[in-house]
Copies of this chain bind each other. A is one copy, B any other.
Amino acid sequence: MDSTGEMIFTGDELLRGDAVNTNQSYLGQRLLDLGIFATHALCVADDREAIVTAIRDSLARRPQVLVLSGGLGPTEDDLTREAVAEALDRPLVHHEDLLELIRDRFALLGVPMGDCNRKQASVPRGASPIPISGTAPGFTVLHADTLVVALPGVPWELKEMWEGTVEPLLRRQSGSKGGHAVRRIRTFGIGESTVAEMLSGFQWRGSEVEIGTRASLEDLTIILRGTASPAGAERLDATQACICSLLGDRVLGVESGSLSEVVGELLRRTGTTVAVAESCTGGLLGKRLTDVPGSSDYFLGGVTAYSNQVKTEVLGVPTPLLAEHGAVSGEVAAAMAEGVRRLLGTHCALSTTGVAGPDGGSEQKPVGLVFIASVLGDVTQVKRLQLFGRREQIRERAALAALDLLRLRLLREKTAQ
């Protein structure tokens, strides 16, 4: 991993904290996938001198790529074109064909183009304009060994230009040096340290496959990086197969979708319909399932039973059961799942009931205690969880754990067939 990259973001909104800089994490990941490690990422105010200094400082470190984002609009605060021209000591050159493109864009949007947009048709001498998706053209220009890339700050425009133009360009450049290949193994239900321990053996085999992990609330992704050659692909295949067999059903898939998507795909493939009965998650489990386009093929609906009255009257949870075990219990979770399956007439159902906090906990039933249940065929399965974190995290983790409970059951059904 010897290539380095840098990023410079302009825009007072990033420094005032009015926006979170998601472009940085996006670009950091994409660069790394190309084998380029970002060493500096700077947000700088809309001040021409400060931007010029930042560009010069970066170029002095001779990165392979310097990505600038933002400041390509038509207003006086948009200074990136001028700053790059000054830092690279090249004049700005007007491109009439670029102006035509911008004019066409405006015509398409049914908006007249303003005079101020004229300056957007200029790029530093020797720079190549990037085909535009929005109305702010980007450009690339090679300066010494550094590819300087200027992109808009609007995330979707930045992504389109990056994936459509810049990434292919960088791939071609590094093609001569071999190039990099990446595999992502998505897992659920294991921690980063457990994975590190399980995989520690791999690090010693000198396999030229680099193994990294990326953890989020939703899942843990194991990232394998190797060379793009046929021999490299073979090594990646072998490593991937080995890791997948070690982790077994903890693996959601290679280059797979989210847990909701994986569960949805299993439901769709097996022709299984599902319903949910939620207490502590308050609708979040249904929301997760329906995040997936086309989920109406298998998700029929659900009942959020926040009060005990809804649990008994709508879901048919027996009142004595509630009185004996309390709403937060495995017995009630099971009765909720069975009740909603009966009510909605689905093949299977999931339920959640727990103490999301911050209040409402007791010694026997502390904040974070959650019961989830799944019912499929004749079998109801209940799981007790002790979750940590704030209310929001406890609710998210409970919903994800319920989805995973269903995933594992559907997987076993499939294997048993």
Q: Which residues of A contact B (CB under 8 A)?
A: 14-22, 24-30, 32, 37-45, 47, 50, 54, 57, 212, 214-215, 276, 278, 281-291, 293-296, 299-307, 309-310, 314, 343-345, 357-359, 391-392, 395
Contact = CB atoms under 8 A, between A and B. Distances in A.
Count this chain's copies in the assembly: 2
- Of residues A15, A212, A284, A309, which shows the largest number of chain B Cβ atoms within 10 Å of its Cβ? A15
A306 B314 contact: no
B39 A40 contact: no
Contact of A41 (B14, B285, B359): B14
B296 A306 contact: yes
A86 B57 CA distance: 21
Contacts of A28: 14-18
Given A17-B25, A17-B26, A304 B306 contact: no
A277 B169 CA distance: 50
19 contacts: A16-B37, A17-B26, A17-B27, A18-B215, A20-B22, A39-B44, A41-B43, A57-B57, A276-B283, A283-B285, A287-B287, A290-B304, A300-B307, A301-B306, A301-B307, A301-B310, A302-B303, A303-B303, A304-B304
A306 B310 contact: no
B39 A16 contact: no
A344 to B, nearest CB: 6
Contact of A24 (B21, B285, B288): B21
Nearest to A282: B290
Nearest to A57: B57
Contacts of A343: 314
B296 A307 contact: yes
Given A17-B32, A39-B50, A314-B344, A357 B293 contact: yes
Given A307-B300, A310-B344, A287 B293 contact: no
